[in-house]
Amino acid sequence: MAAGTQRSASRTRSGVVLSLGLGVLALVVSVSVAVSLGAVHVPAGAVWGILGNRLAPGLIDPFWSKGHTAIVWDIRFPRALLAALVGAGLALVGASLQAVTRNPLADPHLLGISAGGAFGAILALLHTGLFLGLLTVPLLAFAGALGATALVLAVTRLAAATSADRLVLAGVATSFIIMAAANLLIFLGDPRATHTVVFWMLGGLGLAQWGHLIYPLAILLPCGAWLMAHARDLNAMTIGDETAATLGLPVARFRLQVFVLGALITGVMVAFSGMIGFVGLMVPHIARRLTGGDYTRLLPASALIGGIFLLWADIAARRIMAPEDMPIGIITGLTGGIFFVVLLRRKP
């Protein structure tokens, strides 16, 4: 019996490793396609040759032009990596919120966290200025996202909205209030800058730069590692507060920690990509179909699928109206809206 159990566990681990390996391969292929496609097509061989020469100068004799080098290295690689980071971060936040709220519709966009991040970023871009340098926008975006989270929790308590559906309604109501305040900031801001801010609010990755990537990466790695280290606690939260408490988990403190980390990740991602909705709603459900409900597998799968999804959404945004870039938020909003309707139609 013990030997059979060990063999079963070994096969399970092998399956998980194989699935993650295939996911990483799909992510690499998606990055390659995203960097290769555009108004100027760059062959995949040239893409990876340019990358190889940047990492190890002189590794490959160049068979591409200097123009291709500039396009690939200065524009498309940072954009593709930002898409992967933002998609992974939003998916992790969505999966974690769905666990601690026990609500399959929980998502940083629907709960107003993204709106809070947008409010903070707009405040920095139009009114306070970059008084802390590049850190100003992500810090104020985090503060806005954290404030929105606190406001949602306060509204939930004030309205005694204890059910999962009411929590989403509280989040949606809070999101409307915060976006009204954000629109007021835009109205009161410099008219010459508002066009850029409005386009940014629709979601876009076109301003990605190598120097900016350190901020989302520095937040995603430790926060994602913390969430994955507490995957078993997230499993317990999905069963119920009482069960989690009997297992020794400090439920209220853990839920608050997840909300704060979710606000931090969302705020920083929003600061560099604008408002990109529904990734945190859709991706965890897709991951559950593939891996099951165990968060030790669900979290890494969600991160990979989120990065891959946003890469392909960005590819679509660049190709549909080429050579113009469609805001990526339009693609994710359309896809997410349809997915949301399908999710609502499913029987509980």
Positive or negative, the CA dihedral 93, 99, 105, 111 is negative
The parent domain of residue 250 ranges over: 90-345
What are the residue ranges in the chain where pLDDT is below 50?
A: 1, 9
pLDDT of 84 reads 95
Q: Is residue 241 part of a domain?
A: yes
User: What's the residue count for the chain?
Assistant: 348
The answer to whether 117 touches 182, Cβ cutoff 8 Å, is no
Query: Which two structure tokens, joined as six digits, stand for 13?
Result: 């681990």
pLDDT of 134 reads 73
pLDDT of 161 reads 57
Tens-place pLDDT, residues 190-245: 777 777 777 777 788 877 888 889 989 999 999 999 999 999 999 999 888 888 88
Q: Is residue 150 part of a domain?
A: yes
Where residue 58 falls (left for φ over 0; alpha for ψ -120 to 50; beta otherwise) is: left
> Which are the contacts of 342, defined by CB distance < 8 A and separation ≥ 6?
none
Q: Is residue 310 part of a domain?
A: yes
Angle at 81 between CA 75 and CA 83, to 5 degrees: 100
pLDDT of 1 reads 47
The answer to whether 194 touches 126, Cβ cutoff 8 Å, is yes
What DSSP state is assigned to residue 125? I
The CATH number covering residue 115 comes to 1.10.3470.10
d(CA 94, CA 269): 13
Q: Is residue 214 part of a domain?
A: yes
Q: Which amino acid is at 271?
A: A
Q: Is residue 12 part of a domain?
A: no
Q: Is residue 35 part of a domain?
A: no
Count of alpha carbons within 13 angstroms of residue 134, beta-carbon side: 11
Tens-place pLDDT, residues 68-103: 888 889 889 999 999 999 999 999 999 999 998 888
Q: How many domains does the chain have?
A: 1
pLDDT of 7 reads 56
Q: Is residue 22 part of a domain?
A: no
Q: Is residue 329 part of a domain?
A: yes
